Every structure is written in C-alpha cells, then in structure tokens.
A and B are shown apart, each in its own frame.
Chain A
C-alpha cells in the first residue's frame, strides 16, 4: 500500500457468486489469509445474476473499482449462468473502455470454493491496480 505518499484508499465493490467465489472468500477468511480490506463484498446467487447496472451503479455511487467473480466454466451451480454472464461481461468491459472509462476499473475472474489463497492474491492484485489508477471520477454522481 502506498500509505506513505497518499492516505487515499480505494473502495472496491466485489460481486461474488454464492456457490464458488463467496465460498472462496470464506475459505480465505477461515484460513486467516490476510488480504486488503478495500473490498466490499456483495453476495449474489450466481454470476449470471449480475445485471450490468449493478456494476455501473457501483461506479455511479462512488466505488473506485468493481470486481466480479463466479465459478469456473463448467462449475456453475446453475450449469450455465457463468457462460451466459461471460458474454455480457466481455461486451460491457469493452464498451466501458471504449467510452473512456480507465482500463482496469472493472475486472472479472473465476474463483472456486477451494481457491482461498488465490482469492486473497486476486484481491491484492486488483486493489493495487485500482490504487494505481487513483480515485474514480468519471461515472460518479455528485
């Protein structure tokens, strides 16, 4: 963390699917793996439940970044939720970048229930990259 140069800490909203990614975060917790406290987790039933509006609303209401996680392909509790979601996410991320929202504000990854360690690393990486981008200004409603 760049605390010495800057007191600002990013706020990152993380949407985690109930069955894999949230369980992955839970595993990180019960295993007492340390990771940055910048994320605010919102549990959703499935990555397929994520409406692109959730992501945009987060940015509108002051999140500096958004992380979206679901089960690995083939592992979705509802079989195909993540496959359908992946298409939406690909288009949304590309559209946001195209419109001039900084690359990296909105990130996606697959995290399984067994990947507690990986979840912690992911959060550390995402926090660092959003810290480097600085506060999100563009979609915030003032």
Chain B
C-alpha cells in the first residue's frame, strides 16, 4: 500500500510541476485510526500528504462538481465510475479532469472491524500483506483483511478503474461474484416480511441527509427534500415521510448509482440503504441492460427508451 502512496505522490508532483492541473483531490491520513480523509492539494510540496490504504473509502467524485479549475483526482474504480456518470450528466467535462486511477482491493468496513472489539477503543491500525492489525490499550488484534471488506467491495466486479489518464500500480484480478443473490434472497421473502424489514430500517432514519451529501451523484442544488414549493414529501420522521424519502432517494439514483456505498457509510443510524439501491441497480441491468459508470457512450437508461421495452408489468398492454 505504501508503494502506491509513493507512486501517487510522484504522479501528483509531476502534474503540479508541469502545471497540468491546479488542484489535486486525494486522501491523507485521518485523525482517527481506520480513517483516511479527503484532501485538496495545490502545491507540489504538499504531495507528501497523500496516502493510499484500505480506508480511502469516501467517493472523491463528490468534490468535482461546479469547480472551474483543472483537477486531478485520485480515483479507485467506484470513484471513476461516478466520474463517468458526472461527465455524461455534464457536471464536469472530460477535459477538466485528470483521472489518476488506482486499482482497488476493496476498502475496509470499519464498523465490521470495530464490531470484533466489543466496544474497546482502537488507537492504532496497520495493514500489511492481507492482515489488519488493530491495537489499543492492552490489546492487539489481527484480522484477515478480506473478511472485513465493505459489502459493496465484496460484490464489486469492476475493481480496476474503467476510465483513467494515469494508472497507479498493477491491475487487480476481477472477482466473479454472484452479484445480486442478496436481492433474490430478499425477494423470496413474503410481502409482509419485506415491508417489515424496510420499514424497520427506514424508521431509524433521522433525516440528516448525510447519505445524500456523501453520494457523488446527488448534486442537485435544490434536492427534493429541501423543496417546499411543492413539498414533495414531509420533512418529519413519520414512517410515511421517511419511507417516501427513501424510495424516492433510491429512485432518483436509478441507473446512476455506482454502488460505492458512500451513503451507507455516512449514515449515523446504520440504515440499510443499499437494500433499495441495489434493487434498482439490478432492475436497470435486467430491464434495460445498463450498468452505471461503465461507458461514456451509452445514454442513461431513463434518458432514453426502446419501442419494445418490457411492458409485461402493465395491465393488458
């Protein structure tokens, strides 16, 4: 991992030296163990701050929108996929970004790791060779890295950036994963069980909108939740309001969500946001054969149609 940090710094220094970009968006060490923090760099000498490890889980594409300068961005594959969608949605031009792609082994889900420690505080975290070592007052715990990945990373099938100008390190092998078995499993439950699960999850929501704020594709200046004229849905934590908020948040990301999991990690209430997102990801794939962030050329599924699109869901079509 430290090798990759070195290569990233090298590439960034060069970009800044040659004045190819004005701004670099990457990660630096966070103030807490298991956290890396987005950082913004404009000078060559600041490149030392940049790092790469298994805690670089934010989706940096979030920071691209509405900037004027030329930007280099350190992008793992889900960041790169979000960038593809942002370019297609004309939030940024391809020429304005230099994508420094980093093949990804998956990011650590810190909640999963923390769960092993029964509430003990982690003061230090190190990783090497597939192991994650957590240290605190009077304990050292070694975990197998691959057992503590974010769910999105476990089922990820695009671990190499789909688009880049500079590639850091070697590519990683793609995994064959049974992508949507979780969705099929959930669908096998009864209507009432599904409702109970989703409404239990959604009822934890405090409407803080951290999920929206973390999502690289949620860039609207005025989000439907902030709108008062019309007020699309109430702002309360009444289950009816939160349910409609969640259904529509997911719906607005149909064909756009890249499955990075940023929303879920940002949620302070541990709402299973992915449950709704992934259903739409899989429906969009099945119905319209589209995967978000894979190609710059394909039109977004809800911005186009085919005359023979499926309509079996309709009454005597």
The answer to the question of B284 belonging to the interface, with a C-beta cut-off of 8 Å to chain A, is: yes
Q: Is the interface of B mostly helix, strand, loop or mixed?
A: helix
Q: Which residues of A contact B251 (CB under 8 A)?
A: 52, 91-92, 95
Question: 1/0 per residue B234-278: CB within 8 Å of A?
Answer: 100010110110011011001000000000000000000000100
The answer to the question of B33 belonging to the interface, with a C-beta cut-off of 8 Å to chain A, is: no
Known: A90-B287, A109-B317. A100 touches B279 (CB 8 A): no
The answer to the question of B14 belonging to the interface, with a C-beta cut-off of 8 Å to chain A, is: no
Q: Is there an interface contact between B254 and A91, defined as CB atoms closer than 8 Å?
A: yes
Known: A56-B233, A139-B240, A139-B243. A95 touches B280 (CB 8 A): yes
Q: Is there an interface contact between B314 and A56, defined as CB atoms closer than 8 Å?
A: no
- The interface on chain B, measured as residues whose beta carbon lies within 8 A of the other chain's beta carbons, has a size of 45
Chain A's nearest CB lies how many Å from the CB of B34?
Answer: 32
Query: How far apart are the CA atoms of A108 and B192 in the complex, in Å?
Result: 23
Stretch from B17-25, B43-51, B73-81, B300-308 forming part of the interface with A = B300-308
Query: How far apart are the CA atoms of A42 and B223 in the complex, in Å?
Result: 26
Stretch from B58-66, B195-203, B213-221 forming part of the interface with A = B195-203
Known: A88-B302, A99-B198, A100-B195. A93 touches B313 (CB 8 A): yes
Query: How far apart are the CA atoms of A122 and B316 in the complex, in Å?
Result: 9
The answer to the question of B191 belonging to the interface, with a C-beta cut-off of 8 Å to chain A, is: yes
Known: A83-B309, A87-B301, A139-B240. A99 touches B247 (CB 8 A): yes
Query: How far apart are the CA atoms of A102 and B191 in the complex, in Å?
Result: 7
Query: How far apart are the CA atoms of A125 and B234 in the complex, in Å?
Result: 32
Question: Which of A92, A96, A100, A122 has a CB less than 8 Å from the CB of B196?
Answer: A100
The answer to the question of A98 belonging to the interface, with a C-beta cut-off of 8 Å to chain B, is: yes
Query: How far apart are the CA atoms of A52 and B244 in the complex, in Å?
Result: 10
Q: Which residues of B contact A108 (CB under 8 A)?
A: 313-315
Q: Which of A83-123 contact B (CB under 8 A)?
A: 83-84, 86-103, 107-110, 122
Q: Which residues of B contact A52 (CB under 8 A)?
A: 248, 251
Query: How far apart are the CA atoms of A96 and B198 in the complex, in Å?
Result: 11
Chain A's nearest CB lies how many Å from the CB of B156?
Answer: 22
Q: Which residues of B contact A53 (CB under 8 A)?
A: 224, 232-233, 244, 248
Question: 1/0 per residue A22-59: CB within 8 Å of B?
Answer: 00000000000000000000000000000011001100
The answer to the question of B94 belonging to the interface, with a C-beta cut-off of 8 Å to chain A, is: no
A82's nearest neighbour on chain B, judged by CB, is B305
Query: How far apart are the CA atoms of A100 and B190 in the complex, in Å?
Result: 8
Chain B's nearest CB lies how many Å from the CB of A78?
Answer: 13
Chain B's nearest CB lies how many Å from the CB of A22?
Answer: 17
B251's nearest neighbour on chain A, judged by CB, is A52
Q: Which residues of A contact B234 (CB under 8 A)?
A: 141
The answer to the question of A74 belonging to the interface, with a C-beta cut-off of 8 Å to chain B, is: yes
Query: How far apart are the CA atoms of A138 and B242 in the complex, in Å?
Result: 12
Question: Which of A57, A100, A110, A126 has a CB less than 8 Å from the CB of B194?
Answer: A100
Q: Which residues of A contact B279 (CB under 8 A)?
A: 94-95, 98
The answer to the question of B288 belonging to the interface, with a C-beta cut-off of 8 Å to chain A, is: yes
Q: Which residues of B contact A73 (CB under 8 A)?
A: 307, 311
Question: Which of B195, B241, B288, B301 has a CB less than 8 Å from the CB of A99?
Answer: B195
Q: Is there an interface contact between B240 and A99, defined as CB atoms closer than 8 Å?
A: no
Q: Is there an interface contact between B309 and A96, defined as CB atoms closer than 8 Å?
A: no
Query: How far apart are the CA atoms of A16 and B199 in the complex, in Å?
Result: 31
Q: Which residues of B contact A96 (CB under 8 A)?
A: 247
Chain A's nearest CB lies how many Å from the CB of B25?
Answer: 32
Known: A56-B247, A88-B302. A94 touches B283 (CB 8 A): yes
The answer to the question of B131 belonging to the interface, with a C-beta cut-off of 8 Å to chain A, is: no
Query: How far apart are the CA atoms of A91 and B250 in the complex, in Å?
Result: 11
Q: Which residues of A contact B196 (CB under 8 A)?
A: 100
Q: Is there an interface contact between A91 and B248, defined as CB atoms closer than 8 Å?
A: no
Can you list 13 A-B pairs with a CB-CB distance of less than 8 A? A52-B251, A53-B233, A60-B240, A60-B241, A80-B305, A86-B305, A91-B287, A98-B186, A98-B187, A99-B247, A108-B315, A110-B314, A140-B240
Closest 7 CB pairs of A and B: A100-B195, A100-B194, A83-B305, A141-B240, A109-B315, A108-B314, A99-B198
